[in-house]
Structure 1
Amino acid sequence: MSPPVFKIAPGIQAYDWGKKGASSLAAQLAVESVPDFEIDEAKSYAELWMGTHTTLPSRVSATALLSDHLRAHPEFIGAKVAARFPDEASVGQLPFLFKVLSIGTALSIQAHPNKALGAKLHAERPNIYKDPNHKPEMAIALTEFRGFLNFLPLPAIVEHLHNVPEFKGLIRHESVEALVAVAGPDDPVTAPQKAALKAVFGDLMSAPEDKYRPAVEALIARYKRGEVAECEKAWAPLAIQLDKDFPGDVGVLCVFLLNVIDLQPGEAVFLGADVPHAYISGDIMECMAQSDNVVRAGLTPKLRDVPTLVEMLTYEAGPADKQVLEAVEFNRDPATKIYDPPIDEFSVLRVHLAKDEVTTHRPIEGPSIGIVTNGEALVSWGFGEELIVTRGDVFFLAAGHEYKWQARKDSEIFRAFVEA
């Protein structure tokens, strides 16, 4: 009989925006869990993938995929989850994808489509949009983290448009005036406010390179001369940083339109469909629906699909903390916090145990993937069955079992799961 808990081999992705060599947390963890992986200090390691997504599926052995094993053992997924996600369960697929991200330079200004748009994009351009699913996601900070997240309050955007001279010529006068006319309280954002914000953002992101590049160059040159208006002081250092990584890119100007959010370890944000964002720096746990669809429009050498991005966004605006997701105790367990976003596909547990501390998780009626980000622990179930997991180990936990955790060292463990 196959045990309900077993280690799996994830995959490691090297992208330009990742952290170099051993400075990448994703690479550090991969050394312990990816077979035959050795760190190349010349490479930038960005993502550790844990799950069944066909782009980089996890394995239970050199010849067997995790999805094959789950298809052979449907009880590991559980009847309730299989009934809720029949298409995925029938082929051994999980409805979520779990990752560790190590961010050295900013990711693209991007958003992820909702289900209807995901299906449409996949049908029309399957070589670009690889699957028909949506991709709501959650980021949990492992280190200090910074990112762009949704639009600033409208009065702040208006102030920037009026006081940053480099916007002149990039955004139509009538678009600015339309936003000025409606830029009052934005909770909730009204339809006229959304339309005006869409026009401004669309003008900026659709501007030709021979207009936006000189504007960005002039902005950065002015900042380096020390000519920074009061309303720009909070954003100037970030604009300089982004221009260093993406010289002359229109995405640099998004510092005046999008919120910048800073998280401390353990803090989290949830990003629903059609929300503009970009991770800027730090290490995070990321969990998302089973998809790899990304629509990009700035701060990237990859394909930019500006018309789709401009059209798809929700154009909500307001403080960044509207997206913050508070963790709460899981099942009255002070050692375990749950991050539970308002979607069906996933939730995430964070377990913190001091050496020799013990906690128990109730049976979850769905599959889980765990990773040890620090320390070493013993996970046990049934009648004396147990598995030692150490930093970097990635493992699967089957549905329907009570699991006991005992820390052999001070330990931190993240556990992504779905429960219908």
Structure 2
Amino acid sequence: MKKHNFYPLFCKIQQYAWGKFGTNSIAGKLWSSNQDKILDSNTPYAEFWVGDHPNGPSEVGLKSKKVTIPEFFSQDLSLLGPSILNFTNNEPRLPFLLKVLSINKSLSIQSHPDKKLAKRLHSQRPEIYKDPNHKPELAIALTYLEAFVGFRDPLEIYNNLMNYQPCKDLVGVELVNNLKKQISNKDGKAVAKTLKEIFKAISTAKADIVSTKADELIELIHNKSENEFTSDEKLILRLNKQFPGDVGIFLSFLMKYRHLKPNQAIFIGPNTAHNYLAGEIIECMATSDNVIRAGLTPKYKDVEQLIEMLDYDILGKPSNQIMDGVEIEKGIFQYKIPVQDFLVQIIHMGKNQTLQLPTSHSSSVFLLLNGTISNKDQDQQKYSSGTVWFIPQDSEINISSHDQTVLAVQAMLGKN
């Protein structure tokens, strides 16, 4: 078996407004350690990126200098390895991007196109949709995570519309009655059609009407005593503080409210409405910029496109499932997903343990999230949290922990 060096990576931070501030941000602390930078308590540190995305390519630490990952690969294509080169049709790039997100307030309500739609949108509007790729993603909770992923059960949507008059007003009585009838008839296609019309009625309502109805909704909730608030109502109040009078407040009545514990994960495929609300996660995705938004954001919204692309066929079907990792070897957990663009494994080690990472079928990136490790094969240096490596295909990597437990993540190409 070949033994290869690993290559240290120095990675970028994204300071989006929704990020956590200063040392409250895991993403920020990883970047601070990785780049030997001091965090500013008044700056939001939202996303720590590991990969070769053009908006934030990592740099490879060589003996005499640092070069970007694209430059590194251009010097020797074999570093990417045959598996990735075959997947990318010999394009010198990583097909995945690994991130850590620290979420202080809601991201936008959004979805990502499948490959067919992505190609069409890129062809028609390349200034907005900058690549022809899809963007499936996996979120693994580092802390307790709140998110919207997919639609609620149709009956729950109906009950929400009936229980909150301002939302019912936006939708209209006819659509609400149609939904109830179609649910009773167990007519999945009709439910999907009506749900699409309901989503459209809310998301295309005039801004002044939405704002007025949002005020009515907040007043309706505040008419109850605080100890009677449901979890949905507490969230609506929070969202209204973050984005006063935003249409996303009403879209939340349609979307499934998820709660993930640390190490739990959820896969988000194409044409699925979602957004992260609070918490910190590991996220891995196919490398793409294609995001289509409809609410809870000051960014560009393409509401009509989102309405047309979403999958509303949900009656009697399992929604996006929260999953646990599968332990493939002691302390190594993989998350099974239906795409080949990436595969993620979480590594847990106790104190003073040694572990050989499974020899990867593709080149990979490795991020140490917590603890201190040494690499027995390359040197005796101690590596702390924020350490990132690029590991070539077929490498043997033996790591040892010290006086702390270790948490790490490794991303690679998925298997056929």
Matches of residues 357-396 of structure 1 in structure 2 within 5 Å? 357-381=353-377, 388-396=382-390
Return the letter of the residue paired with 2:82: A
Aligned to 1:200: 198
Aligned to 1:414: 409
Q: Does 1:21 align with 2:22?
A: yes
The unaligned stretches of length 5 or more in structure 1 are: none
Aligned to 1:162: 162
Aligned to 1:302: 299
Return the letter of the residue paired with 2:355: T
SS of the residue corresponding to residue 170 of structure 2 reads coil
User: Following the alignment from structure 2 to structure 1, what is the Cα–Cα distance between the partners of residues 375 and 66?
Assistant: 26
User: Following the alignment from structure 1 to structure 2, what is the Cα–Cα distance between the partners of residues 366 and 385?
Assistant: 23
Alpha-carbon displacement from aligned partner over 1:378-401 (angstroms, at most 9, x marks no partner): 2344xx666643101111111012
User: Following the alignment from structure 2 to structure 1, what is the Cα–Cα distance between the partners of residues 181 and 35?
Assistant: 56
Q: 1:200 to 1:44 in 2, by over 3 A?
A: same
Alpha-carbon displacement from aligned partner over 1:163-186 (angstroms, at most 9, x marks no partner): 211024311333223222212597
SS of the residue corresponding to residue 303 of structure 1 reads coil
Aligned to 1:174: 174
Q: 1:118 to 1:20 in 2, by over 3 A?
A: same
SS of the residue corresponding to residue 138 of structure 1 reads strand
| Residues 296 and 306, structure 1, Cα contact 8 Å, conserved in 2 | yes
Aligned to 2:233: 236
Return the letter of the residue paired with 2:406: S
Alpha-carbon displacement from aligned partner over 1:239-282 (angstroms, at most 9, x marks no partner): 00000100011111123111111111100000001100010000
| Residues 22 and 28, structure 1, Cα contact 8 Å, conserved in 2 | yes
Q: 1:387 to 1:414 in 2, by over 3 A?
A: farther
User: Following the alignment from structure 1 to structure 2, what is the Cα–Cα distance between the partners of residues 19 and 7?
Assistant: 26
Aligned to 2:87: 84
Q: 1:325 to 1:75 in 2, by over 3 A?
A: farther
Matches of residues 64-75 of structure 1 in structure 2 within 5 Å? 64-75=67-78
| Residues 188 and 314, structure 2, Cα contact 8 Å, conserved in 1 | no
Return the letter of the residue paired with 2:221: Y
SS of the residue corresponding to residue 169 of structure 1 reads helix
SS of the residue corresponding to residue 405 of structure 1 reads strand
Aligned to 2:43: 43
Q: Does 1:403 align with 2:397?
A: yes
Q: CA deviation at 1:233?
A: 2.6
User: Following the alignment from structure 1 to structure 2, what is the Cα–Cα distance between the partners of residues 122 and 142?
Assistant: 34
User: Following the alignment from structure 2 to structure 1, what is the Cα–Cα distance between the partners of residues 381 and 129?
Assistant: 39
SS of the residue corresponding to residue 68 of structure 1 reads helix
Alpha-carbon displacement from aligned partner over 1:220-244 (angstroms, at most 9, x marks no partner): 12212327998x7331101000001
In percent, how many aligned pairs have the same letter?
A: 33
Q: TM-score, normalised on structure 2?
A: 0.92
Aligned to 2:32: 31
Return the letter of the residue paired with 2:10: A
Matches of residues 252-271 of structure 1 in structure 2 within 5 Å? 252-271=249-268
Aligned to 1:114: 114
Return the letter of the residue paired with 2:296: L
SS of the residue corresponding to residue 368 of structure 2 reads strand
Q: Does 1:324 align with 2:318?
A: no
User: Following the alignment from structure 1 to structure 2, what is the Cα–Cα distance between the partners of residues 309 and 63?
Assistant: 41
SS of the residue corresponding to residue 105 of structure 1 reads coil
| Residues 263 and 324, structure 2, Cα contact 8 Å, conserved in 1 | no
Alpha-carbon displacement from aligned partner over 1:138-158 (angstroms, at most 9, x marks no partner): 000001110011100001111
| Residues 144 and 265, structure 1, Cα contact 8 Å, conserved in 2 | yes
Matches of residues 136-151 of structure 1 in structure 2 within 5 Å? 136-151=136-151
Q: What is the count of residue pairs matched by the alignment?
A: 408
| Residues 271 and 323, structure 1, Cα contact 8 Å, conserved in 2 | no
User: Following the alignment from structure 2 to structure 1, what is the Cα–Cα distance between the partners of residues 359 and 351?
Assistant: 24
Q: CA deviation at 1:357?
A: 1.0
Q: CA deviation at 1:321?
A: 6.5
| Residues 260 and 320, structure 1, Cα contact 8 Å, conserved in 2 | no
Q: 1:82 to 1:67 in 2, by over 3 A?
A: same
Q: TM-score, normalised on structure 1?
A: 0.91
SS of the residue corresponding to residue 119 of structure 2 reads helix
User: Following the alignment from structure 2 to structure 1, what is the Cα–Cα distance between the partners of residues 320 and 195?
Assistant: 18
User: Following the alignment from structure 1 to structure 2, what is the Cα–Cα distance between the partners of residues 322 and 60?
Assistant: 36
Q: CA deviation at 1:316?
A: 4.2
Aligned to 2:347: 351
Q: CA deviation at 1:66?
A: 1.0
| Residues 203 and 294, structure 2, Cα contact 8 Å, conserved in 1 | yes
Aligned to 1:100: 100
User: Following the alignment from structure 1 to structure 2, what is the Cα–Cα distance between the partners of residues 386 and 81?
Assistant: 30
Q: Quick check: 269-278 or 395-404, which moved more? A: 395-404
Q: CA deviation at 1:326?
A: 2.7
User: Following the alignment from structure 1 to structure 2, what is the Cα–Cα distance between the partners of residues 71 and 358?
Assistant: 34
Alpha-carbon displacement from aligned partner over 1:354-375 (angstroms, at most 9, x marks no partner): 1111222232121111111100
Alpha-carbon displacement from aligned partner over 1:258-309 (angstroms, at most 9, x marks no partner): 1111111100000001100010000000000011211110001111111011
